[in-house]
Homo-oligomer: A and B are copies of this chain.
Amino acid sequence: MVLPRAARTQRRTRIQEEKEERILEAALEVFSANGFRGATVDQIADVAGMSKPNLLYYFRTKEAMHRALIDRVLDTWLDPLRAFDAEGNPVAEIRSYIRRKLEMARDYPRESRLFANEVLQGAPHIEDELKGPLKALVDEKAEVIRAWAKAGKIAKCDPYHLIFAIWSTTQHYADFDVQVRAVLGQGNSGDGRFEDAARFLERLFVDGLQVSEQPTP
C-alpha cells in the first residue's frame, strides 16, 4: 500500500504522528514568514529536515498542508475570546482579554502572522472559517458586550468595533514586530515592549487619554 495518510482510516503510527508534527511545525515557520504563495514546499521540507517527496507522502499537496495547519491553529487562536465571561466584571474581563491577547502575540507570533498573511491577501483559503465559526463567536461575545453597555456597566459603544480594536492593537505587536522594533530602536532585546504595551493598552481602553477630573479643592 502506498496510500498517504489522508486516505487511510486506521489509527496512525508513531512515525506518522512524529512526522506530521514536524511538518506542521515547519509549515507554520515558513507559511507565517512568507505567506501561502511565497512559501515553497522545498523550503518547508528543508526546515522539517526531510526530502520533498517524503513530505508529500504525508501531505499530498501544499494546500493540504496549509489547511491542516489552519485547522489546527485557529482553535487555539480563538481561545482567549472564548474565555470572555458574561458573568465576570466587565472592565476586568476586557482587561484580561487584552492581557491574554498580548501574551499570545508575544508567545505565538507565527500563528498571528499566519492569519494576517492570509487575511491581508483576501483570505482565499479561510473565507469559510471567517464567515462561519469566527463570525458566530464574535456575534455571541458582541451580544455580551452590548448587554454590559445597556446595563450601564461600561460605556455605550459598538461591540464589534471594540473587538476589532482589541484585536488590532494587540496583534500589531506580532504582525508588525519589525516595525515596532525599528521605531523603538535598539536596546529592546527583551520583551519589555510587551509590558509597556500592556500598561498602555489597559489604561487606554479603561480611561482613555483625557485627563481625569481630579477633585480640584
Spell out A's residues near B (CB within 8 Å): 33-35, 37-38, 91, 94, 113, 116-117, 119-123, 127, 130-131, 134-135, 138, 152-155, 157-158, 160-165, 167-169, 171-173, 175-176, 178-180, 182-185, 196-197, 199-201, 203-213
- Give the residue of B121, B200, B204 whose beta carbon is less than 8 angstroms from that of A38: B121
Q: Are A175 and B205 in contact (CB under 8 A)?
A: no
Counted per complex, copies of this chain come to 2
Given contacts A119-B179, A210-B91, whether A157 and B38 have CB atoms under 8 Å apart is no
Q: Are A121 and B169 in contact (CB under 8 A)?
A: no
- Give the residue of B38, B153, B168, B196 whose beta carbon is less than 8 angstroms from that of A169: B168
Complex: how many Å from CA A196 to CA B204?
19
Given contacts A155-B209, A206-B209, A209-B155, whether A176 and B184 have CB atoms under 8 Å apart is no
Known A113-B120, A158-B200; further 5 A-B contacts with Cβ < 8 A = A37-B37, A116-B175, A119-B176, A130-B179, A154-B209
